[in-house]
Amino acid sequence: MVDYCQNITCLNNGICQSLFLGYKCECISGIYSGPHCEYTATNIIVRQYMSRSFAYIAILAMCSGVSFIIVLDILHYVFHIDVAKQEREKIQKERILQNRKAIRSKEPRIALRFIYVNKPPLTE
């Protein structure tokens, strides 16, 4: 019997089987197909592209966030431009007003002082 699998390479861990007057590559997993197990299933290819695209989007989001912070720091420390100064002052004023209203709305505090009656005198 002639071994037809002698010079045949099945890709992606496929197993070559000699047949009468030929050979056949048996693909172990259902992911691969074709005469030499060279084709990948469509759903695997789609998942690979999607995972790459999500990774690229995440990298772009992180880079844009870091670059935004760097630009704000350059504006603040090099050019002495504070972009958020007005908003920060507005928030601080609102907090001060809220604290004043909270203090005014509280009942006045009463200090209690205990006076002991019939206390024995201190002896020296």
pLDDT in tens, 48-66: 899 999 999 999 999 999 9
pLDDT for res 112 = 73
pLDDT for res 114 = 74
10 contacts: CB under 8 Å, gap ≥ 6: 16, 25, 26, 27, 36, 37
In 45-56, which positions are buried (b, 16+ CB within 10 angstroms) versus exposed (e)? eeeeeeeeeeee
Q: Which of 19, 18, 37, 17 is nearest to 27 (CA)?
A: 37
pLDDT for res 118 = 73
61 contacts: CB under 8 Å, gap ≥ 6: none
Q: Over 80: is that where the pLDDT of 123 sits?
A: no
- Determine which helix (DSSP H) or strand (DSSP E) holds 73, and give its type and residue range: helix 42-77
**Mean pLDDT calculated for residue range 72-80:** 93
Confirm if 59 and 70 have CB atoms less than 8 A apart: no
